[in-house]
Amino acid sequence: MAEKKIKVLCIEDEPQMIDLIRLILESKGYEVIGAEGGREGLELMRRERPDLLLLDLMMPEMDGGDVFHQMRAEVELKDIPVIVVTAKAAPIDKILWMNVAKVDDYVTKPFGPQELLESVERVLGHAQKEG
């Protein structure tokens, strides 16, 4: 029986960034679903129930903060691990998201493929130990 692929949802307003993340993660056997924007991302999250969410913060229409707060308010979505992937590199942003919002990790753009993979593996490994 084939092992179930780990499903990663990437909510990002730049299609090229979704493609880059897909390229990095699919090379390691992950299934990557891309959503262009917050509203589409929430719909996909409800439908697909991903194992992990990669969330951009700065998006038009519905930003990552709104997506995060809405998903945390929904019973079916609140336990999905979240890695923020953003260009917001100020230390205060990372501190707020890690310690106040309690996201699982925070990766700043531009990032290297290894940095992203290590973050995903660390968060998923931690989530599996808790599960």
Phi, psi of 52 (to 5 degrees): -155, 145
Assigned superfamily of 7-130 = Response regulator (3.40.50.2300)
Dihedral of the CA atoms 81, 14, 19, 94 (nearest 10)? Answer: -40
**Domain parsing of the chain, residue ranges:** 7-130
Picking from 111, 121, 114, 81, the residue whose alpha carbon sits closest to that of residue 98 is 81
pTM, two decimal places: 0.94
The C-alpha atoms of residue 17 and residue 35 are separated, in whole angstroms, by 11
pLDDT computed for residue 130 by the predictor: 55
pLDDT, one tens digit per residue, over 41-81 is: 999 999 999 999 999 999 999 999 999 999 999 999 999 99
| DSSP codes of every residue in 43-63 | HHHHHH--SEEEE-S--SSS-
pLDDT computed for residue 36 by the predictor: 96
pLDDT, one tens digit per residue, over 95-131 is: 999 999 999 999 999 999 999 999 999 999 976 665 4
CA 33-80-84 angle, 5° bins: 70
Residue 2: how many CB atoms within 10 A of its CB? 4
